[in-house]
Homo-oligomer: A and B are copies of this chain.
Amino acid sequence: MALIVQKFGGSSVADAEGLARVATRVVATKKAGNDVVVVVSAMGDTTDDLLDLAAAITQKAPEREMDILLTAGERISMSLLAMAIDARGVPARSYTGQQAGVLTDAAYGKAQIVKLAPERIQKSLADGQVAIVAGFQGVNDANDVTTLGRGGSDTTAVALAAALGADVCEIYTDVDGLFTADPRVVPNARRIREITSEETLELAAHGAKILHLRAVEFARRYNVPLHVRSSFSDKDGTWVRNPTEENPMEDPIITGVTHDASQAKITVLGVPDRPGVAARVFQVCADQGSNVDTIVQNVSADSNRADISFTLPMAEAERTLQALRDAEDDLGFTGLKDTAEIGILSVVGAGMRTHSGVSATLFGALSEAGVNIEMISTSEIRISVVVASEDLPTALKVVHSAFDLDASETEAVVYGGTGR
């Protein structure tokens, strides 16, 4: 008998049909002899609908009130799921974050879990019930309701799995796990059977949308095995876990290729080549709240000046450009170039550490395909390149092939939308 935490996103429980499908799966897991804790997000568009309601009232809602408003969604989905499971002959009880002992700090909208006191969940399991917990929410020490921010339900699930000593935390989504590339762009992408949390973090940070960074970090820290799989099929998905003596994972050179088409590139031309000028450029960006990612600096044609390029989310490009223009006199640059249409491709693999030649293979494949590399940045287990937006699909495919990641037949099935 195992203790299994199952997390279902909003798209899995969007309607009565979805709730029935989830309930059937939970009941099967329970009847197979396991203890089951379910973490559930709000149904479909509920959270957006609640945000719309608030927006119709005020543009500056107090955060405390916004948090209690948004948590109504999980309260609805969790009780309906309990009803659906109960209707299938298995006793079930739903618990709010407060009831489940999810204790957080007071940072409304992005609260951190400070302690888990899941006595009621343990009691429920001991009584033979399926325990259903509202994701995304907790309670601070003033007994006020908080939300955990983006990906909060994943975090709830992993934290509960850690606190309960669960054997696995299953994250249900609308694809069969993590793939070596986005199957919508690279049709012969291969399902990744097993991956380390370190690699998963790099994938998630550079374009893979399936798992949220915080949840993966939590899983790594508390050594919780994650099983990312589809709520629409019974296929095995992707196991995210750290190698152990009993299970020494092989480090493939490259685990996967991700891409991110949501970034823009800004180049500041002819910045005076004096200490502190680059710092001032990025201070202007920081003052705008811009999330600058990759930065490259080259010597300019004029040898006393430098060109600085950086990437940032596309949505932030406009106001950052304007801020730079406003600071032109102070910064003393000679020109600004805005390239919205860029794509970032990243290859990630723990094996990169010990195998040389990865960059040679990567750059060689791109060159052979006639793809120009605009910028390069690296971490210990990742290499990212910025290319022209129109080159991105080709770049993904040739790189995927160059690292022998192509599956012999199409493995990926995309079942629906994505949840929170």
Please report A residues at the B interface, Cβ cutoff 8 Å.
Answer: 16, 19-20, 50, 53-54, 56-58, 60-62, 64-66, 68-69, 71-73, 75-76, 78-80, 82-84, 86-87, 92-94, 96, 98-99, 120, 143-145
Shortest beta-carbon distance, A145 to chain B, in Å? 8
Residues of chain B contacted by A99 (CB below 8 angstroms): 143-144
A-B contacts, 5 listed (Cβ < 8 Å): A20-B57, A50-B76, A61-B83, A61-B86, A99-B143
Query: Contact at B69–A86, with CB atoms within 8 Å?
Result: no
Q: Are B62 and A71 in contact (CB under 8 A)?
A: no
Using known A-B contacts A58-B87, A87-B57, determine if residue A79 contacts B75 with beta carbons closer than 8 Å: no
Decide: A94 and B79 in contact? CB cutoff 8 A: no
CB contact between A19 and one of B57, B66, B143, B145 (< 8 Å): that residue: B57
Q: Which 7 A-B pairs have the closest CB atoms?
A: A69-B79, A58-B87, A16-B56, A65-B79, A72-B72, A61-B83, A65-B82
* A92 contacts across to B, CB distance below 8 A: 65
Q: Which residues on B sit within 8 Å (CB–CB) of A56?
A: 16
How far, in whole Å, are A145 and B60 apart by their CA atoms in the complex?
30
Chain B residues with CB below 8 A from A71, complex form = 75
* Complex CA distance for A84 and B60, rounded to whole angstroms: 10
Check if B82 sits within 8 Å of A75, measured CB to CB: no
- Is the contact region of chain A dominated by helix, strand, or loop, or is it mixed? helix
Q: How far is the CB of A133 from chain B (nearest CB, A)?
A: 12
Q: Which residues of B contact A143 (CB under 8 A)?
A: 99, 120
Which residues of chain B come closer than 8 Å to A61, judged between CB atoms? 83, 86-87
> What number of copies of this chain does the assembly contain?
2
CB atoms of A83 and B57 under 8 A apart? yes
Residues of B contacting A66 in the complex (Cβ-Cβ under 8 angstroms): 79, 83
A62 with B82: CB separation less than 8 A: yes
CA distance A98 to B145 in the complex (A): 11
A20 contact set on B, CB distance < 8 A: 57
Closest CB-CB distance, A87 to chain B, in whole Å? 4
A47 shortest CB reach to chain B, Å: 12
Residues of the B chain whose Cβ atoms lie less than 8 Å from the Cβ of A145: 96
A99 vs B61: C-alpha distance when bound (angstroms)? 20
Q: Are the C-beta atoms of B93 and A57 separated by less than 8 Å?
A: no
Task: Give the contacting residue for A58; candidates B84, B94, B144; CB below 8 A.
Answer: B84
